[in-house]
Structure 1
Amino acid sequence: MGLFDRPDQPWRAPRGESAVCGVALFVVLMVVWLLNSGHYTTLMVGFGVASSLFVVFLSWRMGIVYREGLPVRLLPRALLYAPWLFKEIFKANVDVARRILTLYEPNISPRLFDTGVTQKSDLGRVIYANSITLTPGTVSIGVRGSYIMVHAIAEEVADGLQEGEMDRRVTWLEGAGS
C-alpha cells in the first residue's frame, strides 16, 4: 500500500461528480493564485499550475472533493444572493452605528434567542449562520439541529431576523425552496 492509498477510499471518483468538482477546485485555486501572485511569467504560472494540481490531487485522494464541499451548483443563485446580503450588511452597519452614536441613550437591548432554520443540508445551515454573523448586530453562537442560537444587539434586530427573510433566501440559495 502506497503513501496515498486508503483502503476505505477508492481511487475512482464516485459517479463522476468528484472529477467535476476537482476541475472546479483547480480553476478556483488557479484564479486565487493568479490574483494573489501578481506575476504572470511562465515560471510563476507554472508554479501555480503545479501547486494547484497537487492540492487537487491531495484533496481528491483524501476524499474531500465532493458536491457539498465545493458547491459549484450554488454559484448562479449565489450571484443573486450576494448583492442582497451586501445590502443587508450595509443597512445593519448603519443601524448599529446609529445605535452606538446616539447622543442620549443608545437603544441597545441585547437578546439571546433561537431561530428556526428551513435548510435541508449542513451547507445551507452554515451559509445561514454565517450570513447572520456577517450582518452587524447579530452573531450566530451555535447550530443545534433545526435551530441557530443568535445574539442580537436589540429586540428590533432579533424580530427582523425572526421574520424569516434571510432564512427564505438561504433556503432558495441551496435549492430547496425553488
Structure 2
Amino acid sequence: MLRTASLALFLFAFWLLLSGHYTPWLVGAGLVISILLALAGRRLGFADEEGHPVGRLLAGLLYWPWLAREIVKSSLSVTRIILDPKLPISPQLFHTKVSTRTPVGIATYANSITLTPGTITAGVDREQGRFLVHALTKAGADDVEAGEMDRRVRRFEGGAE
C-alpha cells in the first residue's frame, strides 16, 4: 500500500509540474485522478518494484549526476570526432559482461550505455549475462569494458561493490 501511495504522490507531483494551473478545482481533480491511476496501477500490476522503483530513489540521486557527467564528457568527445576533418572513428561491436541481475538494473545499465553518446546497446542476452554493444571508437569500447558503469549500476540496484 505504501508503494501505491508513493505512486499517487509522484503522479500528482508530475501533474502539478506539467499543469501550470493551480485552481482548487483543477488541483483537486488532479489529486483524485492521480489516486485512481495509482490504484489502477496496483490492480494491473505495474505499481511493483519494477514499475515504480521508489526504493531506488536515494541510490538514483548518487547515480544520475554521475551519468549526466558521463553523458556530457561523451558528448564533447563525439563532437570533437564529428568536427575533425579526418573523422577518426574506429567502430567496435563487442560483448560485455553484465553483473546486474534485477530487471531494473539491466534496463538501467542498457539504457545508460545507449544514453552515453558514441555507444549503443544493440542486444541483451540475459541467459549469458551480457550485452552486445556498438561503440563509435575504441576508447568508447574500452570505457564500457572497464566496468565502471556496471559497478555503479550494481550499486544503484542494491548490489555489492
Under TM normalisation by the shorter chain, which class is it? over 0.9
Larger gyration radius, structure 1 or structure 2: 1
Once residues 73 and 153 of structure 1 are traced to their aligned partners in structure 2, the CA distance between those partners, rounded to angstroms, is 35
Once residues 99 and 122 of structure 1 are traced to their aligned partners in structure 2, the CA distance between those partners, rounded to angstroms, is 34
Aligned residue number for residue 48 of structure 2: 66
Q: CA shift at 1:122, angstroms?
A: 1.3
TM-score, normalised via structure 1 length = 0.86
Structure 2 counterpart of 1:106, from 62, 87, 111: 87
* Equivalent residue letter for 2:104: L
Aligned residue number for residue 170 of structure 1: 153
Identity %: 43
Q: List per-residue Cα deviations over 1:76-129 (Å, max 9, x = no partner).
A: 1110111110110000000000011013x1111111111111012111010000
CA RMSD of aligned residues (A): 1.0
Once residues 141 and 28 of structure 1 are traced to their aligned partners in structure 2, the CA distance between those partners, rounded to angstroms, is 32
Q: List per-residue Cα deviations over 1:23-75 (Å, max 9, x = no partner).
A: 11101100110000001110110110121112112111112221232111111
Aligned residue number for residue 111 of structure 2: 130
- The question of whether the paired residues in 1 share the 8 Å contact of 2:46 and 2:52 is answered with no
Q: CA shift at 1:143, angstroms?
A: 1.1
- The question of whether the paired residues in 1 share the 8 Å contact of 2:50 and 2:104 is answered with yes
* Equivalent residue letter for 1:117: V
* Equivalent residue letter for 2:14: V
1:118 lines up with 2:99 in the alignment: yes
Aligned residue number for residue 160 of structure 1: 143
TM-score, normalised via structure 2 length = 0.95
Aligned residue number for residue 50 of structure 1: 32
Once residues 78 and 21 of structure 1 are traced to their aligned partners in structure 2, the CA distance between those partners, rounded to angstroms, is 17
SS of 1:151's equivalent? strand
Aligned residue number for residue 141 of structure 1: 122
